Amino acid sequence: MKLTWSISQRKSGRPFDPATEVDHYTLEMQVDGAPDFSAIPAPGATALEYTIDVTDPGTYNFRLTCFPKVGAASDPVTSSAQILDQSAPVIATFTATV
């Protein structure tokens, strides 16, 4: 499953360049209906996508938080993806503001 995200502005509306301004991300996953999110390996600071090996049919929820080098962390953003079978790639997309 491929996760993609974009961060183009700060909460103030000023532009944000994820290629140079991200310190790190946290990325979490939850099987739909489970009580909690679980941490998954964090992508590198310059990443705007991450591939995770999930193949079991079901609905998966993902939560991403961006921690910039300067300023407060983004609010966590969530996205969901459903795997119906193993015949097609699945992509979950996020848009965050720091």
* Domain boundaries of the chain, sorted by first residue: 2-95
Tokens representing 18 are 């994820």
Run of H or E residues at 81 = strand 77-83
Cβ atoms of 89 and 51 closer than 8 Å: no
pLDDT at 38: 95
Name the class of domain 2-95: mainly beta
pLDDT tens for the 98 residues of the chain, in order = 788 888 888 888 888 888 898 999 999 999 988 999 999 987 888 888 888 888 788 899 999 998 999 888 888 988 888 888 766 666 667 666 65
Run of H or E residues at 19 = helix 18-21
Give the HSE-up count for residue 15: Cα atoms under 13 Å, Cβ half-sphere.
Answer: 3
pTM confidence score: 0.83
Phi–psi pair at 56, nearest 5 degrees: -70, 135
pLDDT at 72: 87
